[in-house]
Every structure is written in structure tokens, then in C-alpha cells.
Amino acid sequence: MQQGNIIVAYKGAIDADLIADTLTLIETKLERDVEHSLTRKKIYNVMVECLQNLFHHVDAIPNTGNLNYGIFVLSKLPNGFYIATGNMVNVSKKPVLKQKIDKINSLNKDELKEFYKFVLNNQTFSEKGGGGLGLIDIARKTGSKLNYSFVPFNDSLDFFKLSVILTE
Amino acid sequence: MELLNIEGTPKTPTVNMNPNSGEVEIKGRSIPENSIEFYKPIIDWLDEYSGSPQPSTIVNIQLEYFNTSSSKCILDVFKKLEQLKKNQHDVLINWYYEEDDEDMLEAGEDYESIIKVPFKMIQIVD
């Protein structure tokens, strides 16, 4: 999960307070280390989506006492920033998630914009999440493909890793 | 009908809605994990306001950040305004964005293409 110089990295329980504290920390660090205000804004925006995605989808790992377990990394690359998240997903959710990411990755900039607007205008949002706009937004804002993998953990869970690169 | 004033927090915007002047302002950050709860009083206020609106309603949206959970709620706010416009009342949405912030400008244009209300894109220059 590691590339470049780490700005923030975390492994453990994910809850609303942790995300709020992390975003504050990221903002402080970016303020200090990243000169261009629009780059800071973009990174912050993408981190908000990534962390809230994680927050809405973290699953407990059975028999380990690890509740709401997740991982995230933000690091600096020579030419941009690397953002990665990881969490357990039930294997039953894998086909839908995979299909969705593959679709996003197959679209160009204009198609992504149209897809975003379509989902925004047509999909009902659950109490839980943003109705599936998060991943589309991450792809739009970074201009990056969504790199992902599913690593089998046991019969019912896969570890889902997602990463993007934001080129400066 | 009463004013609606909500003070901003690190996760939610400042909101000022004035039924006497027809001015609505949403300003700051909108990144709550669950936006539906936050936007409900705003939607309710607009429902009531639509019963006896001012001849002209001016809406100022000046967001620094908003998450995708908020984007749907903001669309719901705009749909209420679209209804007002449909009922022959003047509505203008001023969408503010920071100089060179193409993401925020594009977000405004996305809404503009969905909602049948005049938008004015206003660049904030330092």
C-alpha cells in the first residue's frame, strides 16, 4: 500500500471522529507542504470522498475483534500524490463493485461528466451513502483510473484495495 | 414566516434564508457524512416559502468544498427553486467559485445543465 513519502497513513478502526480528525490533520499538513491552493483543495476533496466511502463501507473482521477495520494512505510522489484505501468487503458485493469500477474506468472525461450527472439526477440516495457518486467523483477530480484489487481473506471476505494518483 | 439561520461548522455551511427579502445564502463547507439530516430544514423552509414567495428570489451559493453526499441535497434545493420558477416567480442562482477552481465551476455548470433556473457563475478574485 506504500509509495512515495507518507503524509498520512492509518490502519485500524474507522469512525466519524477519526475521519474528522484526519481531515483536519491533512489540511494542516497540506497547508504547510503544498504551495498551490487549488492542488490542496483537490487533494482534500478526494480525501473526503475516499474516507467517507471507507466510513460507509467498512466491515468487521469476524473473530478478530477488529471492528470497522480500514486502511488509508496519502503520500507524495515525485510528480503528484498517491491516495489508497483498503477495507474488507463481503464477497457477495464484489461483482457489483467490480462492474461499477470497470465502467468508470472505461469512460473518458466527458463521458464521466455525463455519467455523474445521470447518477446525480436519477439515483435515489440511501441514508448510508452518496448513492454511488463517490467513486465517479474521485475519478473525475483526479483524472486517474481507479486502480483496485480484491485479495481473498477467507470464504466470505475479500480485502478491497483502491488507489488513485493525482498528478500535479 | 421566519428567517432560517444556521451557523457554519467545519463540516457544514452557514445558511441564511430570508423570506422578507427573498435572499438565500449557503456558504462554507458541506462535507457531513449524512447530508440528508442537515439539508432537511432548508428543504422544509423552501417548501413553506414557496407558498408565498417574494417576486424575486436570489440564491447565493459559495461553497469551498462539498462532498457527493451533499451534491444530491443541493440538487434537491435547486429542484425546489425550479418549481418556484415554473410558477412564474423570478429566481436567480449565483454560483461562486474561487479563481481558477475548475472543479467548482464545473460543478456549477453540471447543476445549470440539469436545473431550469438561470445561473450566474461568479469568480471570486482575491
Per-residue pLDDT at A125: 61
H/E element holding B78?
A: helix B68-86
Q: Give the mutation candidate from B31, B65, B67, B68 for the A interface (greatest A CB count, under 10 A).
A: B68
> How many distinct structural domains can be found in chain A?
1
* High-pLDDT (> 90) share of chain A, %: 68
What ranges do the domains of chain B cover? 4-124
Can you point out the beta strands (E) in A15-154?
69-77, 80-90, 147-152
CB A120 within 8 A of CB B113: no
Whether B110 and A117 lie within 8 Å, measured CB to CB: yes
ipTM of the complex: 0.93
H/E element holding B36?
A: helix B35-49
- Residues spanned by the domain of A95: 5-167
Mean pLDDT, residues B62-80 = 95
Q: Which residue of A has its CA nearest to B102?
A: A38
Measured in angstroms, the CA of B75 and the nearest CA of chain A are apart by 8
Q: What is the pLDDT of residues A26-74, one digit of tens each?
A: 999 999 988 888 999 999 999 999 999 888 877 767 666 667 889 999 9
Range B4-124 has CATH code 3.30.450: no
* DSSP-derived 3-state class of residue B123: strand
Is the minimum CB–CB distance between B126 and chain A shorter than 8 Å? no
Per-residue pLDDT at A128: 54
Per-residue pLDDT at A132: 79
Mean pLDDT, residues B66-78 = 94
pLDDT band at A129; cut points 50, 70, 90: low
Take residue A66 and report the three cell numbers written for it.
477488529
Which CATH number goes with the domain that contains A17? 3.30.565.10
